[in-house]
Structure 1
């Protein structure tokens, strides 16, 4: 999982307020229930000394019908809302917390099961391109639909070759437009997978026009169609299967890399050694076991890479006022700052510790 989207969140100095709230609106009394849940969270945060104006900003967001979603994560500081994201399901547990860093790990763990991806259903007329964020939000665009002939004549006659050439030209233009739209949306979304279905000939034309960065992420769906009457149930099952397989394969690949490089200064295990390697900018992949109950702590400084188990290491770097913070959030901030990827692994996947890393 790339963490670039979190960089703006860390630009403001703490403290931060982190709220995870069930904001579902699937019943007549849902709005009142959201307000009650928020009231309990607000009282908890006020007891921790969070200022009323910050709490007012969060309250306005989480109780708004315009921001309705099954769940919502909100991170705020003294200047207001720093980042918010709707959740595709209610949070695993409600959280209302103030601390030096935003408590982003639950958000990332919930995101891990939802791969940001594009679904492209193409035919000679163009394509339907649907982007799905890690939060489950969807955005659909249509490309093509040139009003000139899109089918070859299939007949003889002097004019047939000319009409066939016109149709082929339309196909090529539509494929080019679709490729440009797919590449633009893939970059904007940070898509990890691009699922392409539809007419086989159009698929081939589209794939030929995609750049290698996007083409390497393509999974072809053989029996998906763009036509309105096409069955969607089996297609959705295949899509879910493809995304699940991709996510599982990504984790397995990371664990395999870890195990192959173990013991040759290519990996590290444990909170303290991993923090040190992050500080040195040597971590390529941060491997975390998702344990919401974990209470390990690390020392942090104002700069994202300043993270250590031993406060003396930060003082040697000139950090005059180190702070203690949750280890998972401190490590995630360091990974974000240094361009490391985050991968959640299972406790029995063979990394030897709840915190490990593959080194650069």
Structure 2
């Protein structure tokens, strides 16, 4: 997971008021509950030393309507210069996370954000299809194209014989042409987008689309649902898509951890523990950072012990909470972040796959 969305945070000198709170309004008294959550976050920030106007600014943003249904949690980070991050996840976050500190606290939000899988959802039928790219925000697509066109002659032709066969042939041609249009749009959305396609809709139309699509550098997973005759409607389709995304999270997480273990076995281009990973971050050497946020939060990182460690516009000495400092350093050095658990990180809260092997550089110097 790239941290590009967080770049503006570290261009601000702070200090920061951070809150990650569930603000769902699906219950009957949802508005009141969201307001109570926002008020509790404000009080906690003030208790930690945040100026009251800053704490109130965070509370106001938390209490504002998200215009989203279902389960919604909101991450807000602000400084005296205003709100710097306002992000939603469709995840249950029962325990609010609130902090006033020299660095933003976004690790709990990142843990939920890492469960998102960018994908392209394609719904097809004989009228064409709808192609939608979902990136980091499942509620707001990055791109959407509706290519469905109703056939005015459909269901109007009566009779049989050669005339009916000729009509049927022409209709098939129209359907294949529309499948080609959908395939063209899908290829365009895949160019700079996700590498996962979830294909749903009419079971008879899906093979036509796949034939028109040809070979693409993407994984295509078909699911039932999305057709007019499908049981369960939109809810069934959403459940089917969510099952696919969960499977992808597991598969990709396993692949990431396999890479780390392979590197550990080879003893090359790998770092484990704060004492190895932080110097690698200082050198801009980390390609992928594996982080257990909860375990890392139990450690302090001394800025003075790592000359050259920069945290953007934040100027700080002394001890910082390790999880917050590691996220900042990863963002500023363009490192990918994989959220994992210590049990899978060979007993350490942080590990890294490196862009180059430092010992090899030393040998050639």
TM-score interval (norm. to shorter): 0.7 to 0.9
In the alignment, what sits opposite 2:359?
none
Q: What's the CA shift for 1:105? A: 0.8
What's the secondary structure of 2:342's corresponding residue? coil
TM-score by length of 2: 0.77
- 1:34 and 1:246 map into 2 onto residues whose CA distance is 32
Structural mapping, 1:177-326, within 5 Å? 177=182, 179-180=184-185, 183-184=188-189, 187=192, 191=194, 193-199=196-202, 202-203=205-206, 206-207=209-210, 215-221=217-223, 224-232=224-232, 238-262=240-264, 263-291=266-294, 294-299=297-302, 310-314=305-309, 322=317, 324-326=319-321
In the alignment, what sits opposite 2:117?
115
- 2:154 and 2:172 map into 1 onto residues whose CA distance is 5
| Matched positions, count | 343
In the alignment, what sits opposite 1:168?
173
CA contact (8 A) 2:102 2:316 kept: no
What's the secondary structure of 1:348's corresponding residue? helix
1:188-247 CA deviation, whole Å, 9 max, x = no partner?
A: xx64632113456754554567698x74243233xx254222124775554333222211
Q: What's the CA shift for 1:338? A: 3.0
In the alignment, what sits opposite 1:62?
62
- 2:336 and 2:96 map into 1 onto residues whose CA distance is 26
Q: What's the CA shift for 1:355? A: 0.5
In the alignment, what sits opposite 1:34?
34
In the alignment, what sits opposite 1:13?
13
What's the secondary structure of 1:84's corresponding residue? strand
CA contact (8 A) 1:179 1:206 kept: no
Q: What's the CA shift for 1:108? A: 1.0
CA contact (8 A) 1:150 1:171 kept: no
- 2:269 and 2:321 map into 1 onto residues whose CA distance is 26
Aligned pair 1:142/2:146, yes or no?
yes
Aligned pair 1:344/2:339, yes or no?
yes
CA contact (8 A) 1:287 1:344 kept: yes
Give the direction of change, closer, same or farther, for the CA distance of 1:93–1:293 in structure 2 (3 Å limit). farther
Aligned pair 1:328/2:323, yes or no?
yes
What's the secondary structure of 1:65's corresponding residue? coil
CA contact (8 A) 1:127 1:226 kept: no
CA contact (8 A) 1:106 1:292 kept: no
- Larger deviation: 227-236 or 83-92? 227-236
Q: What's the CA shift for 1:330? A: 2.0
What's the secondary structure of 2:103's corresponding residue? coil
CA-atom RMSD in angstroms: 3.7
TM-score by length of 1: 0.78
Give the direction of change, closer, same or farther, for the CA distance of 1:343–1:66 in structure 2 (3 Å limit). closer
What's the secondary structure of 1:258's corresponding residue? helix
What's the secondary structure of 2:104's corresponding residue? coil
**Structure 1 segments unaligned to the other structure (5+ residues):** 301-308
**Structure 2 segments unaligned to the other structure (5+ residues):** 356-365
CA contact (8 A) 1:118 1:130 kept: yes
Give the direction of change, closer, same or farther, for the CA distance of 1:185–1:79 in structure 2 (3 Å limit). farther
- 1:30 and 1:162 map into 2 onto residues whose CA distance is 55
Give the direction of change, closer, same or farther, for the CA distance of 1:340–1:175 in structure 2 (3 Å limit). farther
- 2:306 and 2:283 map into 1 onto residues whose CA distance is 16
- 1:60 and 1:130 map into 2 onto residues whose CA distance is 32
Give the direction of change, closer, same or farther, for the CA distance of 1:158–1:136 in structure 2 (3 Å limit). closer
- 1:351 and 1:210 map into 2 onto residues whose CA distance is 43
